[in-house]
A and B are shown apart, each in its own frame.
Chain A
Amino acid sequence: MTAHTSHHRRLSRPSAGRLRGLLRGLGVAIGLLAAPVSAAEPPSGGAHRVVSLAPSVTETIFALGAEDRLVAVSSYCDFPPAAAGLPRAGSYLQPNVEAILGFEPDLVLGVPTPGNRAAVEQLRRLGLAVVMVSEDTVADAWSAMRTVGKWVGRSERAEELIARVQAEIEAVRRAAESRPRKRVLFVVGHDPLVAAGDALFLDELIDAAGGENVGAIGRGSWPRLSLETVVAAGPEVIIDGAMGTESSAAGEQSLLAWWEPYRSVPAVREGRVRAQRSNALLRPGPRLGVAARELFALVQGEPAPTPGPTPGAVAAPEARPPS
């Protein structure tokens, strides 16, 4: 079995390799900070047995029509629906090294997280091609799509996909341009108050949808804001995902109840605390355009105008507007 031989290979490494391993780990750690991190060059025609460790990467592979190359995905990968039926290789935060080896992949694609650092390093040490793509900002997302496209032999389609999604976001931006801008807070948790920060793609999408991201006062991707800072900033729209994507009517009631004591906040006073239940908003992949449209609806309180046909559009299942 692959797992067994790899284990054996690892044991037979020279013992002096410990320091080297350490240095290499340091190198990997430094490498992970740069984005995107690419290993060598893809085989001609791209990899054929791909394990995806991140939902956005899985969505990109489907959007590029390369899903037949996917042998396993992370347990968070649930879109498009066909992805949910694929074998699992551990979670987005904690990939399962043995399971991954068992799929005998020729490529592992993922997004660097604090939790998968060790596993990624181990997979590389075992000689696997591991490509990690950053996806914090919108620019990161484009370059991630490009990298994924290159590695699955779909570079051209990746460019088409990027152009299409960029056009979708631009359409949202144009629709929002003529409207007064609103202060918008996007939170995913109350205890503590975790908000979309300035280093996150959502910051740019909120801007496109006609909002000023209040969460940008906290630095980073998901800062924990102090409640009084939020009260002082007085957001006019609060997009609240604290109930998760399975929220119910009762859940939305409890969201409103949570904000109720902070009546000085315009969003609370004027009834613009809106539940966020779409996971497209947390996936910086091919559904970024969908996310921008959903944000427009949440910020403006009305659906985004239907876009005209986009030149060079790639037919993809996820292009349908939000329900």
Chain B
Amino acid sequence: MSAPPVQAVSQVTLRSALLLHVGGALALGCAALFGLAIGPVDIDPLAAWSAPADDPTHVILVGARLPRVLLAALVGGALGLGGAGLQALLHNPLACPHILGISGGAALLGILAMIAAPLPAVAALGVSGDVALAMVPLAAFVGALATAGLVRGVASASGRVTPHTLLLTGVVFNAFAAALITFINSLADFYRAHGILAWVVGTLVVRGDAWTWAAGATLAAGLALLTASARDLNALALGEEGAVSLGVDVGRARRRVYLAVALLVAGAVPVSGMIGFVGLIVPHAVRLVVGSDQRRVLPASLWGGAVFLVLADTAARTALGPTELPVGVVTALCGGPFFLYMLRRQGRRELAA
């Protein structure tokens, strides 16, 4: 990976970032229109839009499809951006919230909060059902941040933190979190078990406005934090010593990126569970198009992730007719082969970095 001179915040890069945002928004708009037009039930989207509010076609378009498309865009953007941030920080193409265990940690605490919310013991504390449910994104955030810290702490226990020990620790932690979630599932009753299983695979769940706003807000905060770190991330592409010699406070940059990723994951996981592959492959795909400057990779991954998940969820809703596929299955089916293709294309050189 080559990085342009760090100090050069030229008008050119600013303009190209702006261009990326405009182009990304346009691409997302097209994907969203496609997602709104397609579904297991055949409707005429234009007629449905202008139909009365209690007409089934209007309800399908506005009540069923629109929230899903919006949520897919938010979650996909968050996962794509989070993956790009981690890959840049760790200088490793395998890094993403999923593989680093951050999604697993968020899902674990999120699911505990979700199970605890309706319990009589929690209600006895004076926390009513809705407030208790609002704790889920918060629990997911704590889980994400704690996992990032824990995984890093464990990986650094052996001295120098290499991306490899970090990734391995993350993979192990993710397996551990998945096992705990499966354990919780085996204790859960019949009604809950379906939801928990769908969550582990990754399913977009429209839980109402408050949660969608929470996802949107954390996405905005994560985006701001990562954008502010783009130059540091460019410097880190030269390696830690290189970054230090350019005057980057590596520790601070790292903490900022982890915080941003934890925010993004905490917004995404409560409404989508553990969707894999988005954070892994989207940054790779966009680097093919926009190159490796983080000031372009980050915004492009945001929009690319959103477009990818909107399309994947459209497929998940539509492919099997009246029944639905978990969107995590679709992202894995697309992501797996694409990742293998990228591995072949880039050879072993980059992986060994």
Contact = CB atoms under 8 A, between A and B. Distances in A.
Contacts of B60: 228, 231-232
Nearest to B316: A226
Nearest to A191: B205
B63 A262 contact: yes
A242 interface: yes
A245 B189 contact: yes
Given A264-B54, A264-B56, A226 B39 contact: yes
Interface of A: 91, 93-94, 188-194, 217-219, 222-229, 231-232, 234, 241-245, 250-251, 254, 261-265, 269, 282
Interface stretch (B100-108, B157-165, B318-326): B318-326
Contacts of A264: 54-56, 58-59
B40 A189 contact: no
A51 to B, nearest CB: 19
Interface residues of B, number: 33
Given A231-B63, A232-B41, A282-B190, A191 B198 contact: yes
A219 B326 CA distance: 16
A316 B272 CA distance: 46
Contact of A225 (B58, B189, B323): B323
Interface string B76-94: 0000000000000000000
Contacts of A243: 191
B59 A262 contact: yes
Q: Which 10 A-B pairs have the closest CB atoms?
A: A191-B205, A264-B59, A228-B64, A229-B322, A264-B56, A228-B60, A189-B194, A232-B41, A244-B191, A226-B324
B65 interface: yes
Contacts of B65: 228
Contacts of A229: 40-41, 322
Contacts of B118: 251
A91 B187 CA distance: 9
A231 B59 contact: yes
B180 to A, nearest CB: 15
B129 A191 contact: no
Given A232-B41, A262-B63, 20 more contacts: A94-B186, A188-B194, A191-B195, A192-B324, A219-B323, A222-B194, A223-B323, A224-B323, A226-B39, A226-B40, A226-B64, A228-B64, A232-B56, A241-B191, A244-B189, A250-B128, A251-B129, A262-B64, A263-B53, A263-B59
